[in-house]
Amino acid sequence: MMLRAIAVLLVLAALAGCKSSGEKSDVPQDPFEQSLNVEERELYWHQRGADATKAIWEKFRLRDDTALIGDGVRGMQPSYAFSTHTFNLLLDNVSIFWRKDLAAEAVSAFFYDFSKVYPDRSANCSNEEVLRWAIVCTRASRVTGNKVYLEEARTLYDSLWQSQVDNALDGGMWHRSDEKVSKSAAANLCAVVAALNLYQATQDLKYLLQGTRLYKWTEKHLFDKATGAINTAIDAEGVRSADAESVGDVGVFICASMRLYRATGKGAYLVNAKKAAEKLVGQSAAIRVAENSEESLANGVAMRYLAELASRPGCERYREYILSNARSAWTSRRLSDGLNGPDWAKVPLATDSVKPQTALSAAILYFAASRACR
């Protein structure tokens, strides 16, 4: 029943109706889009995100009693992390142009089914994944007005703050709850975003103070102010990771910086966000093309957070960058099923197997384009 409700709601949604660098997109612009003003473009790209979401649900949704999308072989249980990204995509779809009661019903159905699959969300040992779920729950509460989701987020975040933040390595949160091997940018930055979302919802000053503390730790130990680069982690011996920079970490850093800027008005946070954004935008090929499905999903998430900065006056460069990628992806989707492959500038062949992660990433990108025009 819930499955049918989600399907019906998605169909209804589909039927509803930094100074510029002067860079030009190499992707032809739709003449209709070109004729729209900025506000109208928000709806234009939201509709494309809704279309992509509908295509993903029809292709990858599990065919049993659950509303979740499978990220592996059909019928297999979706992973915790992928389900979180899917929930966020659902919120992208319902948050602006849906009737409030229909949005609440869709969100409730997804949350109920995820709870059946993962009855104890705190049992996940990856602090980053738990915090990403908490972040999405704060968003679900904001979209629907239902405090159940907010309490879920508060419980999960408070538990990790109490058990995973200590004075080792000068502070910060551990990456995993089952081992104290490293403190990562992902865990700490997700904790910042979760804390600031809770602060916005509750006005409890402790969340602002905690988020500020974790941000300062990350800024001191993992952020290069000269280049805008984010180091992935620091191990228990104090050695920084030699891994390549994660695009996803850069995106969450931008989000965390913007949350603190809005909460405090301190320009230093906005400066940091722009430095990270310049680094991100400078890696065009890494964003546009991602053969690895996990990297592709991280790229989509990075676009989601870059959009929060792109809508600011003077940051048109970032908006045009997102729109360029969105146009490329939209004109490169496979028309037979509406799905994007891992390359946002290349149409998948009919014989290509499209992974849910890459299709999901493109859908997130379309909604990011919508948000950047807000």
pLDDT of residue 368: 96
pLDDT of residue 27: 61
- pTM comes to 0.89
Positive or negative torsion for Cα 196, 202, 203, 204 = negative
pLDDT of residue 332: 93
Per-residue pLDDT band for 75 (boundaries 50, 70, 90) equals low
Average pLDDT over residues 178-197: 97
10 vs 232 pLDDT, higher one: 232
| In the block, residue with structure tokens 């979760």 | 194
8-state DSSP, 230: B
Quick: pLDDT tens for 255-287: 999 999 999 999 999 999 999 999 888 866 566
pLDDT of residue 23: 36
Q: Which of 25-39, 78-92, 320-334 has the lowest mean pLDDT?
A: 25-39
pLDDT of residue 177: 97
pLDDT of residue 3: 37
pLDDT of residue 74: 61
Q: Looking at the chain, list the stretches that DSSP marks H as alpha helix, in order from N- to C-terminal side.
A: 2-15, 31-34, 38-60, 80-94, 100-117, 127-144, 147-164, 185-202, 205-222, 247-264, 267-281, 284-288, 293-310, 316-330, 356-372
First-residue to last-residue Cα distance in the chain:
35
Mean pLDDT for all residues in the chain: 87
